Chain A
Amino acid sequence: MHAHNYGHSIVLIGNFNPKIFHPAWFSAQGLIGKKEEEGAKIEIVHSDLSLFSADWLSIEVLHDRFKASTTQQPYSDAVRDLVLGTFTILRHTPLTMMGINIEKHFRVNSEDIWHKAGRKLAPKEPWEGLINEPGMLSLTMQGQRSDTYKGFIRVTAEPSRKVRPGLFFQVNDHYEAADRGNILGSDEIVSILKASWQTSCKNADVIISGLYERITTQ
């Protein structure tokens, strides 16, 4: 079972200076190549917001949020490396939370299976007579972490808007620093990212493929 569309992102919550997150800075630090820098499409680099894409990578930075993402699965580990590299260099940037997020769209074989999947996730009975033609738009479930880190795992299922008929799944693997009020730099979150990346990716795959199987089989 292979996804039709794919997205992988790392979101960091902390305090950032958006203006420095420019393709030329990443290239000067050796985190992207010179050609990638030259080919980068800069939407905006401003003191309040930085937004650009370069080949396989998209970067969005606000004062309180950093996001690196790709829609090309072969580059998901490269996104991890770029984030590790960036905040190893900017080690005094206070980071309090991190999300490792995977998104996948799947095509389903028939509309009938697709409708049944929606009904399995959100049965219609509680809604009947209250609203006309109830249909599931989005469902998010939150689970506890099975490791020792602070945080949670959120899984969202929706009708796909990219594949018709299709299903969309997102796993938000959310980590928090042990003491968010007393963060001096990026070391703790960077360490969590180094230690958890592979496990996080595998868990997300298990969750998404398991859920897909359960709701699309009779």
Chain B
Amino acid sequence: MSIPQTALFEDERYREDSIGNLLSDQFKGNSRGGRNSRFLNPLQTFDTYSDALLGNSSLNDSNRDFIGDHPLLWYEASNEQGECIALQQWECVVLDIGPEYFSARLHDLTADNPEEEAEFSVEDIKEDDLDLLRSGAVFYWSVGYYTSTSGQKMRTSIIKFRRLPAWCERELALIEQGAKELGRAIGWGSQKSPSR
């Protein structure tokens, strides 16, 4: 694959935003389906869209994206992810772990509901995440529906354990320093115990 240097690296329009359309829309297409107007079909605007829907256009789907200036490169990557919409999501903390089940405290991310506890099957955890299962581990639980790349839609429940890098020495030192400062501010360590 040749990279069009001009468009990728010299176009200042794309340096000052953080939307991230550079590759996704210009070169491979993304969930948005193309942002830059030179790749958009004028038939797909509001109010003039009916003709396209009714098949009155002389354009077919394969050339619809190429109206106007021709893109330097159109790299149509397939969406390997499929798509998933969450109907409800929780952030959970593992409490107790048994051989087949584990319990967790659930914090609802979708609505302001009180915290709850629930039991999950260990079998519901992805193989990749099994070594992350321990008391105190954080995971996200979502229920929703998944649409495969072929368009098949199905209800789904997804458990994803949180992955963060281990604390480094610098961070531990910062935390320790912060704790000491907090202790000093509260007066711990300098105050005599009331029993003395």
Contacts and interface: CB of A to CB of B under 8 A. Distances in A.
A74 interface: yes
Contact of A161 (B28, B33, B86): B33
A21 B44 CA distance: 37
Given A85-B163, A111-B50, A136-B46, A73 B85 contact: yes
Contact of B19 (A41, A85, A101, A122): A101
A179 interface: no
B44 A159 contact: yes
A57 B44 CA distance: 29
Interface string A124-163: 1000000001111110000000000000001010111110
A71 B89 contact: no
Contacts of B128: 32-36
A31 B53 CA distance: 44
Contacts of B77: 43, 51, 53
Given A7-B32, A34-B128, A138 B18 contact: no
A164 B85 CA distance: 18
Interface in A83-100: 84-85, 88-89, 97-99
Given A67-B23, A89-B165, A74 B84 contact: yes
B11 to A, nearest CB: 12
A23 B13 CA distance: 30
A65 B84 contact: no
B165 A29 contact: yes
B37 interface: yes
Contacts of A32: 128, 163
Contacts of B109: 77
Contacts of A5: 31, 83, 85
A119 interface: yes
B49 interface: yes
Contacts of B144: 73-74
Interface residues of A, number: 84
Interface residues of B, number: 59
The CB with the most chain A CB atoms within 10 A, among B20, B28, B163, is that of: B20
Nearest to A74: B142
The CB with the most chain A CB atoms within 10 A, among B40, B46, B129, is that of: B46
Contact of A162 (B24, B31, B46, B168): B31
A99 B163 contact: no
Contacts of A60: 20, 22-24
Q: How would you classify the secondary structure of chain A's contact residues: helix, strand, loop or mixed?
A: mixed
A2 B129 contact: no
Contacts of A138: 35, 37, 40
A161 B142 contact: no
The CB with the most chain A CB atoms within 10 A, among B89, B126, B160, is that of: B160
B69 interface: no
B20 A168 contact: no
Contacts of B22: 60, 62, 65
Given A33-B128, A51-B77, A168-B33, 8 more contacts: A9-B20, A62-B22, A71-B79, A78-B160, A81-B162, A154-B19, A161-B44, A165-B53
Interface of A: 2-7, 9, 11-13, 29-36, 41, 43-44, 48-49, 51, 53, 55-58, 60, 62-65, 67, 69-75, 77-78, 81-82, 84-85, 88-89, 97-99, 101, 103, 105, 111, 114-115, 117-119, 122, 124, 133-138, 154, 156, 158-162, 164-165, 168, 170, 172, 174-175
Interface of B: 1, 3, 8-9, 15, 17-20, 22-24, 28, 30-35, 37, 40, 42, 44-50, 53, 77, 79-87, 89, 91, 109, 126-129, 140, 142, 144, 146, 158, 160, 162-166, 168
26 contacts: A3-B85, A30-B166, A35-B126, A36-B128, A49-B23, A53-B81, A67-B20, A67-B23, A69-B20, A70-B81, A72-B83, A74-B144, A75-B158, A85-B164, A103-B32, A111-B53, A118-B45, A118-B47, A134-B45, A135-B42, A135-B49, A136-B47, A137-B37, A154-B17, A162-B33, A164-B53
